[in-house]
Amino acid sequence: MKILLIEDELELATSVLDFLKSEHYLVELASDFPTAYEKAIVYEYDCLIVDINLPGGGTGLDVIRALKKLHPESAVIIISARNGVEDRIVGLDLGADDYLTKPFHLSELNARLKALLRRRHFGGSSDIVFHEIKIKPAERNVYIKENLLDLTPKEYDLLLYFLSNQHHVLRRESIAEHLLGDDADQMDDFNFIYSHIKNLRKKLIDRGCLDYVKAVYGIGYKFTDKK
Amino acid sequence: MKLLHQTQRLFFRGVLPVFIAAGIVSFFTLRWVFDHETDEKLLGVQAEIESYVRINDTLPTFFQTVFDRWYAEPMPTGSMTNLKAYTFSDTMLFNKFENEIEPFRQLRFPVKMRGQIWMVSALTSTVEHHDLVLILAVLLVTMFGLLLLVMLWVNRIVSRQVWQPFFETLEKMRRFRLADHALLTLPPSSVEEIQELNTTLENLAYQVRQDYQTVKKFTENASHELQTPLAIIQGKVEILLQNDTLSETQAQQINIIGQSTRRMVRLNQSLLLLSKIENNQFLERKPVALKPLLEKRLVWLEDFIAEKKLELETILVEISLEINPFLAETLMTNLLTNAVKHNIQGGFLRVILNENYLIVENSAALPEASVKDLTARFARGNPHSEGVGLGLAMVVEICEQQGFGLEISFEQGIWRVQLRFRK
CB contact under 8 A, B242 and A183: no
Q: How far apart are CA A186 and CA A62, in angstroms?
A: 33
Nearest residue in A to B233, CA atom: A12
CATH 1.10.287 range(s) for chain B read: 192-278
Which of B303, B326, B329 is the mutation pick for testing A, counting most A CBs within 10 A? B303
Taking Cα atoms as reference points, which of B280, B271, B222, B256 lies closest to residue B389? B271
Q: How far apart are CA B343 and CA B416, in angstroms?
A: 12
Taking Cα atoms as reference points, which of B376, B367, B414 lies closest to residue B395? B376
At A149 the pLDDT is 92
Average pLDDT, chain A: 89
Chain B 379-398, residues with CB within 8 Å of chain A CB atoms: 385-387
Strands A75-80 and A47-51: parallel
- B419: enclosing H helix or E strand: strand B414-420
At B423 the pLDDT is 60
At B386 the pLDDT is 54
pLDDT at residue A43 is higher than 90? yes
Measure CB to CB from residue B232 to each of A11, A171, A195 and give the nearest one.
A11
CB contact under 8 A, A85 and B228: no
Which of B227, B232, B238 is the mutation pick for testing A, counting most A CBs within 10 A? B238
User: How do residues B109-134 score in pLDDT, each as one tens digit?
Assistant: 888 888 788 888 888 888 877 788 88
Q: Which residues of B touch A173 (CB under 8 A)?
A: 258-259, 262
At B63 the pLDDT is 54
At B408 the pLDDT is 87
At B378 the pLDDT is 61
B337 has a chain A CB within 8 A of its CB? yes
Cis peptide, bond prior to residue A103, ω within 30 of zero = yes
At B368 the pLDDT is 65
User: How do residues A83-109 score in pLDDT, each as one tens digit?
Assistant: 666 778 888 899 999 999 888 899 999
CB contact under 8 A, B259 and A217: no
CB contact under 8 A, A22 and B326: no
In contact, B68 and B125? CB cutoff 8 Å? yes
Half-sphere exposure (Cβ direction) of A10: Cα atoms closer than 13 Å: 0
CB contact under 8 A, A103 and B259: no
Q: Where are chain A's structural domains? A: 2-122, 128-223
Ordered per-residue pLDDT tens for chain B, 423 residues: 777 788 788 888 888 888 888 888 888 888 888 888 888 988 888 888 888 888 888 877 765 555 567 777 787 766 555 667 788 888 888 777 777 888 888 888 888 888 788 888 888 888 877 788 888 888 888 888 898 889 888 888 888 888 888 888 888 888 887 767 777 888 888 888 888 988 999 899 889 888 888 887 887 788 878 888 999 999 999 999 988 898 989 999 999 999 999 888 888 888 888 888 877 778 888 999 999 999 999 999 998 999 899 999 999 999 998 899 989 999 999 999 989 988 899 999 999 999 899 999 999 887 666 776 776 666 655 555 556 567 888 888 888 888 899 888 888 888 899 999 876
Strands A133-136 and A128-130: antiparallel
CB contact under 8 A, A219 and B304: no
At B95 the pLDDT is 72
pLDDT at residue A3 is higher than 60? yes
Measure CB to CB from residue A219 to each of B255, B333, B341 and give the nearest one.
B255
At B237 the pLDDT is 94
User: How do residues A17-31 score in pLDDT, each as one tens digit?
Assistant: 999 999 999 999 999
CB contact under 8 A, A219 and B238: no
Report the CATH number of the A2-122 domain.
3.40.50.2300
A80 has a chain B CB within 8 A of its CB? no
- Pick one of 3.40.50.1240, 3.30.565.10, 2.30.30.90, 3.20.20.300 as the CATH number of B286-420: 3.30.565.10
Q: How far apart are CA B120 and CA B111, in angstroms?
A: 7
Strands B348-353 and B357-363: antiparallel
Measure CB to CB from residue A103 to each of B227, B252, B326 and give the nearest one.
B227
- Pick one of 3.30.70, 1.10.287, 1.10.260, 1.10.3470 as the CATH number of B192-278: 1.10.287
At A84 the pLDDT is 64
pLDDT at residue A155 is higher than 90? yes
Report the CATH number of the A128-223 domain.
1.10.10.10
Number of helices followed by number of strands (H, E) in chain B: 9, 11
Q: Which residues of A touch B303 (CB under 8 A)?
A: 154, 192, 196
CB contact under 8 A, B231 and A191: no
Which of A15, A23, A155, A166 is the mutation pick for testing B, counting most B CBs within 10 A? A15
CATH 3.30.565.10 range(s) for chain B read: 286-420
At B5 the pLDDT is 81
CB contact under 8 A, A180 and B306: no
In contact, A37 and A61? CB cutoff 8 Å? no
Measure CB to CB from residue A81 to each of B224, B255, B333 and give the nearest one.
B224
Chain A 1-60, residues with CB within 8 Å of chain B CB atoms: 9, 11-12, 15-16, 18-19, 22
**Rg of chain A, C-alpha, whole Å:** 18
At A30 the pLDDT is 95
Provide mean pLDDT across the span A190-209: 91
Chain B 345-374, residues with CB within 8 Å of chain A CB atoms: none
Q: How far apart are CA A86 and CA A64, in angstroms?
A: 16
Q: How far apart are CA B239 and CA B224, in angstroms?
A: 24
Pairs of residues, one from chain A and one from chain B, whose beta carbons lie less than 8 Å apart:
105
Q: End-to-end alpha-carbon separation of chain A, Å?
A: 28
